[in-house]
A and B are shown apart, each in its own frame.
Chain A
Amino acid sequence: MTALEELTLLAKQNPNPTVSAWKNKGHKIVGYWCSYIPRELVHAAGLLPYRIKGVGAEGTTRADVYMAAVCNCTYSRAILDMALNGAYNFLDGLIGMNECDHGRRAHEIWVKKIGVPFDHFLFVPHKSNDTTLREFEKELLKLKVHLESRFHTFITDENLLNSARIYNDNRALLKSLQENMKEKAPRIKGSEMHDVVIAGESIPPEQYNQLLRRLVEELENRPPLYDYRARIFIYGWTGDDSSFYKIVEDVGGLVVADNCCFGTREFWEPIHLDGDPFNSLAASYLNRPPCPRMIDGFDKRFQDVKDMITEFQVDGLLVTRQQFCDLHGVEAFFLKKREKELGVPFSAPLIQEYVGLDTGRLKTRIEAFIEQIER
């Protein structure tokens, strides 16, 4: 199998085969909900951080007893459903946080209804300044102490530095892959890149580095992609499923950049290792490319998007979100005000359902958008 094939497969398996391999070695696995939860800390405790995903969900029936189909997103309901059905029983622990109203509640219901051997809730501030950084450091310290006492380990500065370096290597390799998309004829598609990112969220980062290095090499031998109608930027929420990217590609778009959670936001900035590793970790996470959950994040996000539009020669932005997501929901309001400044057209918000995606409707709308902007 090529590295790309391996990574694509890993993205689609939940749990993936690294779980049993890890468990067979006698190691423990801790699930985490959101990319604002520093995986480095979990890894430095000798644990495998496993990003909670909805991959493999078959519906939301059991979750719908506790969450509301009228207003809670299908992503959080799908994950809760899987948990209630026992799909996450392999976890030795779970770290939740206040990422959004849906996610935090799904976590709490999960813990309340079926329990987990180790449960930690990390409060992550919604803005970044000296006060919130101090608070976040305190919160991370609580997590560290809790992990240490529950898993009988010590998270030393050295371990933490080591973990940060390993994950920084992940980020650097992903960034180099993404940068290939600046080419007029890139050698990797957006949907493939998305799968590569998803895979890395739930496998040992050392193994991920090896796969990514192989993929970088493979890329040179892949045929360049000339045949596309428009270079697309995806702005918003696409989750851990590449269907949206595939729809874009099916109608002739080439996704070359994004500002998504399982996307460039995940790897664009490394952990800046200067001074105390604990402080570096806290500061880097609070200042990472901001998700819409961050109150003060839009200006930075908009600047990042504008920079990428130029660097990746983007023709248009597809704005998308999960149904019922308020945090992503208000982004189009901000964009509308900055239409001229953005420099390229953007679509009206395309609403997705994680379970029961309306592929036909999205295809029609995306195709219409591409017709407007094609080269």
Chain B
Amino acid sequence: MTSKRDIIFKEFDFSKKPELKTDLLHTIQYAIKSAISQRDPVMQWIWQPSINAIDDMCAAAEDPTDVVLIGFNLAPEMIYAMGLKPVCPEGLSFLCPTEYLIPYIDESHKAFIPDHLCSFLSGSIGMAISNAIPKPVAIVHTSQPCDNSIAQSTALADFYGVEPYIIDSPYYDNDEAYDYFAVQIKEGFRYLEQMTGKKLDIDRFREVMARSQRAHELVHEINELKKRKPCPIPTGAILRQLSIGMYGQTGSEHLVRWLEKHLEDARERAHKGIGGQHEEKIRTAWIYAWPSFEWTIYEWLGKKYGAIPVIFQASEYFYTPKSSGDFDDLCRSLAIRILSCPMGRSSRGHLDYFVRDSAYWCKEWSIDAAIFAGHLQCKANWSVAQITKEVLMDELGVPMLSFVVDALDPRVTSTEQMLGYIEPFLEMVAENKELEKIG
């Protein structure tokens, strides 16, 4: 459909129900690859994390005897360290084309999964009960970031009849919390050894952690460059790819290679003093989630308002400490890494984490406008939105817009409806900026 806005947004047709018991992994793989092939060849590297993610999952499905289901707030280092293959079901919800995903969400509701369960997770349960995900040999999860995650991991384990290992996440972010989590990581390795018959190879664990560490260092450097004006990233789409990589591939060689390329590109842009495709006028932070079913919206906001997404808070990582070589240290370092993953960090604990993180990103990255596109089922974060809004305005003078959306399901809030919220807000921000200039 061509909107009044001189841009083509996706039109979704949910009347045709795709076959649920299909070879979903290869369907997603095909969809991702054909979408990327239509992009400018010079820019195609940007989407490499999506290709890596789906290729890895397809390869894992070839021989499911090594497949371990993991939660996306766990990250795969433990599984890589064991020489096993991680499959992250909610990652699949993220990668799945919208028209394919929606029927899986609906399918989960028919099986008594509540319709208020996070759609990332209900979508993954729908896939599991439709046999679209290979049966795993083990399931490793954590209780972070929220109740949705506890509900989903126990439902998946129950469906497959596989005893899960769910690490209990602490509430706070301190040494005691890291120790608590680290002990459970050790127990998690014992669980994986029992379930799979494989032995943990400490050298491989060390290598995986070194790569994970390197990935975090690269992200840190990229983030520092993002402080420049204009923000030296080619397109907001890269933030989503960063998220796919950091939630699902830390510890892998291909993520390190991609981040190196990302950093090189950002350095070059920063050196030349250029940003992305559109002139930067308003620096935006997407506080927490961001709608994923329509990526053209970010291009449109850039084109019309010069509104550039600098921060996607749910995929912004804090730097983590170095890990030394001994097993205890490696486990502790991994504990800190997992507990610092953005969604876990800002949702599992006290609301101040969310509020302070939001203020930190907005202040240090000189944000002009914050957008809280509140994921409909995100109970822990919706109840922080107002306090965050007050703090951003009182302390930084940054206005925050909030509205309801389902990040994956356009039936809740369509692209047109979203723009109905965002456009007047950005117009107001632009006007205020102009007034500030005049003095």
Q: Does A pair with B?
A: yes
Q: Show the binding face of A for B, using Cβ within 8 Å.
A: 65-68, 70-72, 98, 100-102, 104-106, 108-109, 112, 121, 123, 125-127, 131-132, 135, 138, 293, 295-296, 298, 323-324, 326-327, 329-330, 332-337, 348-349
If A71-B116, A336-B112 touch, whether A102 touches B158 (CB-CB below 8 Å) is no
A133 to chain B, nearest CB (A): 11
Residue of B with least CB distance to A106: B383
B184 contact from A131, A138, A329, A336, Cβ within 8 A: A131
B151 touching A71, Cβ below 8 Å: no
A132 to B138, CA, bound (A): 21
B386 contact from A66, A127, A135, A335, Cβ within 8 A: A66
A348 to B387, CA, bound (A): 37
If A70-B376, A330-B117, A333-B155 touch, whether A349 touches B112 (CB-CB below 8 Å) is yes
A200 to B3, CA, bound (A): 61
Residues on the A chain within 8 Å of B75, using CB: none
B350 touching A330, Cβ below 8 Å: no
B147 contact from A326, A337, A348, Cβ within 8 A: A326
Interface range on chain B: under 10, 10 to 19, 20 to 34, or 35 or more?
35 or more
B117 to chain A, nearest CB (A): 6
Residue of A with least CB distance to B170: A123
B148 to chain A, nearest CB (A): 5
Can you spell out 17 A-B residue pairs with CB atoms less than 8 angstroms apart? A66-B387, A67-B382, A105-B384, A106-B383, A109-B387, A121-B350, A123-B171, A123-B172, A138-B176, A293-B147, A293-B150, A298-B154, A323-B116, A326-B117, A330-B117, A333-B112, A333-B113
B275 to chain A, nearest CB (A): 34
Which residues of chain B from 98 to 117 have any CB-CB distance to chain A below 8 Å in the complex? 111-114, 116-117
If A126-B150, A329-B114, A330-B155 touch, whether A131 touches B383 (CB-CB below 8 Å) is no
A329 to chain B, nearest CB (A): 3
Taking the complex as formed, is B385 at the interface, i.e. its CB lies under 8 A from any CB of chain A? Answer: yes
A124 to chain B, nearest CB (A): 9
A127 touching B168, Cβ below 8 Å: yes
Given contacts A71-B116, A326-B147, A333-B113, 12 further A-B contacts (CB under 8 A): A66-B386, A70-B382, A71-B378, A72-B382, A108-B351, A293-B147, A298-B158, A323-B116, A327-B150, A330-B155, A337-B159, A348-B112
Which residues of chain B from 355 to 378 have any CB-CB distance to chain A below 8 Å in the complex? 374, 376-378
B25 to chain A, nearest CB (A): 24
B379 contact from A293, A326, A336, Cβ within 8 A: A326
A70 contact from B146, B148, B404, Cβ within 8 A: B404
Residue of B with least CB distance to A127: B168
A125 to B385, CA, bound (A): 26
B183 touching A72, Cβ below 8 Å: no
The 9 closest A-B pairs by CB, nearest first: A329-B114, A68-B382, A105-B383, A332-B112, A330-B151, A101-B380, A326-B147, A101-B379, A123-B171
Residues on the A chain within 8 Å of B170, using CB: 123, 135
Residue of A with least CB distance to B125: A333
B53 to chain A, nearest CB (A): 26
Residues on the B chain within 8 Å of A126, using CB: 143, 150, 166, 168
Residues on the B chain within 8 Å of A326, using CB: 114, 116-117, 146-148, 150-151, 379
Residues on the B chain within 8 Å of A108, using CB: 350-352
Which residues of chain B from 167 to 184 have any CB-CB distance to chain A below 8 Å in the complex? 168, 170-172, 176, 180, 183-184
A70 to chain B, nearest CB (A): 5
Residue of B with least CB distance to A138: B176
A132 to B111, CA, bound (A): 32
Q: Which of A67, A70, A326 has the most chain B CB atoms inside 10 A of its CB? A: A326
Taking the complex as formed, is B56 at the interface, i.e. its CB lies under 8 A from any CB of chain A? Answer: no
Residues on the A chain within 8 Å of B416, using CB: none
B146 touching A295, Cβ below 8 Å: no
A334 to B143, CA, bound (A): 18
Taking the complex as formed, is B203 at the interface, i.e. its CB lies under 8 A from any CB of chain A? Answer: no
Q: Which of B183, B351, B379 has the most chain A CB atoms inside 10 A of its CB? A: B379
A127 touching B351, Cβ below 8 Å: no
Taking the complex as formed, is B23 at the interface, i.e. its CB lies under 8 A from any CB of chain A? Answer: no
B151 contact from A121, A329, A348, Cβ within 8 A: A329
Q: Which of B117, B150, B180, B378 has the most chain A CB atoms inside 10 A of its CB? A: B150
Which residues of chain B from 118 to 176 have any CB-CB distance to chain A below 8 Å in the complex? 143, 146-148, 150-155, 158-159, 166, 168, 170-172, 176
B7 to chain A, nearest CB (A): 29
A101 touching B146, Cβ below 8 Å: yes
Residues on the A chain within 8 Å of B431, using CB: none
